[in-house]
């Protein structure tokens, strides 16, 4: 038995900093759910909402329903992880979208991570205050 077009689900993982998002997209009307809540409720800041919407803004369409579960990191990193996952899932759904998303820089994994604290220092690079006397 062949699957109906609405039953097709594309799933990909997106990462940013220490946040990991598991994103599932399926053809629909553009409804976006993050951890069981509407994405506008989950991300209070408008800038985080814009980050999540970016792949659809670049493509000028929102023909897919998004179901994302994300954990780790802060809200900004989670928004970036979801954006990365959505972009990768869209390419899986339609390979013709790859050049457009690639040009917008949405398929590149942002590899910047927090630098570890070193011994003898207050942080990764910050030294303790020097006192001459």
Domains of the chain: 5-103 (3.30.230.10)
| pTM of this structure | 0.88
Q: For residue 22, how many other CB atoms are within 10 A of its CB?
A: 16
pLDDT score for 3: 57
Tens digit of pLDDT per residue, the chain (133 long)?
Answer: 555 555 789 999 999 999 999 999 999 998 999 999 999 999 999 999 999 999 999 999 888 999 999 999 999 999 999 999 999 999 999 999 999 999 999 999 999 999 999 999 999 999 999 999 8
pLDDT score for 61: 86
Dihedral sign, CA of 58, 59, 61, 62? Answer: negative
pLDDT score for 2: 54
Measured CA to CA, the distance from residue 42 to residue 19 in angstroms comes to 15
pLDDT score for 65: 95
């Amino acid at each position: 038995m062949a699957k109906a077009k609405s039953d097709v689900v594309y799933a990909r993982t997106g990462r940013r900093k220490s946040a990991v998002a598991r994103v599932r997209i399926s053809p629909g009307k553009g409804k976006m759910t993050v951890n069981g809540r509407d994405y506008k409720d989950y991300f209070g800041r408008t800038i985080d909402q814009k980050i999540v919407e970016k792949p659809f803004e670049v493509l000028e369409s929102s023909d897919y329903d998004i179901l994302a579960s994300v954990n780790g990191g802060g809200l900004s990193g989670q928004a970036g992880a979801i954006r990365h996952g959505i972009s990768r899932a869209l390419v899986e759904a339609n390979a013709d979208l790859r050049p457009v998303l690639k040009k917008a820089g949405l398929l590149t994994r942002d590899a910047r991570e927090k630098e570890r604290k070193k011994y003898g220092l207050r942080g990764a690079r910050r030294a303790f205050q020097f006192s001459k006397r």
